Amino acid sequence: MIYMDCAASALQRPPAVGGAVLYALDHFGNPSRGAHSPSLDASRLVYGTREKLSRLLGFSSPERLSFTHNATEALNIAINGIFQNGRHCISTVCEHNSVLRPLYRCAKLYGAELTLIGADSEGNINYNDIEKAVRNDTKAIVITHSSNVTGNVTDIPRVSDIARRHSLLLVVDGAQTAGCFPVDIERDGIDIFCFSGHKGLMAPQGTGGIYIREGIDLPPLKTGGSGIQSFNEEHPSSMPEAYEAGTLNSHGIAGLDASLDFILGEGIQKIYGREKELSEHFYNEAKKIKGVKLYGNFGGERTAVVSLNIGDVYSSEVADMLWNDCSVCVRAGAHCAPLMHRTLGTEKQGVVRFSFSYYNTDGEIELALKALRSIAEE
């Protein structure tokens, strides 16, 4: 089997991840809920993982990071918290439904207003339109760091500059970049960064997180046990507990901790560089295949995603052939990004998305290309 669906979820992980989860299952009590070793060991591991994330993602106070179950939960905390009293939001057509649906919901429930910035036929955001969209009541720009359909990376410093000049919050969806693309939250003036653990970070599913800059107070989505201030009727408002009601997934976080050791050890530049090499080679060969159409800007900064179609064949048919005949795992269809597909003109056909990881080999890339060539010939 050749796994090339890493933008959905990692499959190959650093070898220590599985062992770390098993160790945690057998040794961890409830983190932050006791003074005995099993509980303290879990607490220490959770704190250490926050600290490693702060080093990888470029922020100085580990406690500004709350763990969530995925990027979707983190984005819901951010969007519901910011727009609970309405106001105006600027976002883009490149967003995943985990941004769009919470925004549509805030529009319906709280009267929030939304301006969606368009993109060109390669999926490049019309940056010049962002500043034009700013209004007196604009509160935030919510934007993906990289499209899960095209792999194009957003020019965050440019968007951050607009946000800063107009005193807007900058919320970045880092689901496709954390762990596989260099992220520097403080340098780039990102106010809120949301991410998944199970994609580029190669950790177990059920892990993710939200970084919130000091000085931003958002109401929590959930309230409940926090291990501190038990006699307070209100859920604690200090981070990280504010957004961590209930028992944490410390078993999954143990896996994340182990994958962070690997990523920090290898270095993000090395991981990014290798994935880039794999995806560039794939792109350069795929574009030579007759009938193949590629989507995205292949001249700019990108993550290791290559989306394509063969003629006008439905993307799901191509993906089925890749899997049934050649054991290649890819993702077809709409990838939960309806407006991106509308912009690319692929609403009906969808696209076949290949997404690579550090663990893919040159040989696997050749086999996937061979499979693609034979499908295109058919």
Q: Give contact residues for ligand PLP (rule: CB under 6 A).
A: 70-72, 96, 98, 144, 148, 173, 175-176, 196, 208
Nearest distance in Å: CB 173, ligand PLP: 5
Query: What is the distance between the alpha carbons of residues 156 and 187, in angstroms, rounded to a whole number?
Result: 10
Q: In DSSP terms, which residues pair with 88 in a beta bridge? A: 113, 138
CA-derived radius of gyration, the chain: 21
Q: In DSSP terms, which residues pair with 143 in a beta bridge? A: 172
Nearest distance in Å: CB 159, ligand PLP: 15
Cβ nearer to ligand PLP, comparing 64 with 335: 335
Cβ nearer to ligand PLP, comparing 97 with 223: 97
Query: What is the distance between the alpha carbons of residues 168 and 156, in angstroms, rounded to a whole number?
Result: 14
Cβ nearer to ligand PLP, comparing 78 with 254: 78
Query: What is the distance between the alpha carbons of residues 22 and 95, in angstroms, rounded to a whole number?
Result: 35
SS (H, E, C) 116-133: EECECCCCCECCHHHHHH
Nearest distance in Å: CB 231, ligand PLP: 34
Going by C-beta distance under 8 Å and a sequence separation of 6 or more, which residues neighbour residue 176? 7, 144, 145, 146, 147, 148, 151, 199, 200, 303, 305
Nearest distance in Å: CB 135, ligand PLP: 26
Nearest distance in Å: CB 325, ligand PLP: 26
Q: In DSSP terms, which residues pair with 302 in a beta bridge? A: 152
Nearest distance in Å: CB 109, ligand PLP: 21
Cβ nearer to ligand PLP, comparing 24 with 337: 337
Q: Residues in the chain, how many? A: 378
CA 75 to chain centroid: 10
Q: Nearest CA to 280 among 262, 298, 255?
A: 298
Q: Nearest CA to 304 among 328, 331, 335, 283?
A: 283
Cβ nearer to ligand PLP, comparing 251 with 353: 353
Q: Nearest CA to 328 among 354, 296, 347, 358?
A: 354
Cβ nearer to ligand PLP, comparing 43 with 66: 66
Cβ nearer to ligand PLP, comparing 70 with 346: 70
Nearest distance in Å: CB 171, ligand PLP: 12
